[in-house]
Amino acid sequence: MDYNINSSRRRFLQQLSCTTAALALPSLATAAVEKPRQVRRLAFDNLHTGEKLTLTYFEQGHYIDEALQEINHLLRDHRSGEMFAMDPALFDLLFDMQTRLGSHRPFQVISGYRSPTTNAKLQKATSGVATKSLHMRGKAIDIRMEGVDSATIRRVAMTMRRGGVGYYPTSNFVHIDTGRVRSW
């Protein structure tokens, strides 16, 4: 009789142990699949000032304030020297674009932030400069990338559908912004 009690007890404990393991498996599987918090790095080459910058701007689930300030400085209005807080979503868009492009070459910057005064001057001097340009709100950048055709940059940006994409093949650059989805 002792044998049957011990045997039943042993079977019960084994079943309990299996049930507990089965319940824990989904959370263990999820933990194994979860990615470590992503590190986001970008590199820039400002073609007007000659400044170059490569840095991590996001890690451990947070933007790095000092890195954002360095990018804001590099993307300042090179004509007036004015700085503006650029939209971090623009940097995330560039990071995702470089991943899709399979290139970690620097983004060559044609234009980042533009002061309202600079924008007005450009608007008078040339066509294609918007009166309410998103450059004035820190939500736009004009770029190219060495070794990557601008048409390819445009195509990748358009497939992402995360803002405006302007293509300027004659000047060899692409406008990227975090405004509404549109293209020209």
More confident residue, 32 or 133: 133
Q: What is the mean pLDDT of the chain?
A: 87
pTM here?
0.78
Domain boundaries, the chain: 1-34, 40-183
Domain 40-183 sits in CATH at 3.30.1380.10
Residues in CB range of 47: below 8 A, 6 or more apart: 108, 109, 110
> Tell me: the pLDDT tens digits for 82-121?
999 999 999 999 999 999 999 999 999 999 999 999 999 9
Query: Which pLDDT score, from 0 to 100, does residue 89 have?
Result: 98
Q: Whose CA is closest to 97, among 161, 54, 46?
A: 161
Query: Which pLDDT score, from 0 to 100, does residue 44 have?
Result: 98
Give backbone dihedrals phi and psi of 165, rounded to 5 degrees, phi first: -135, 120
Residues in CB range of 50: below 8 A, 6 or more apart: none
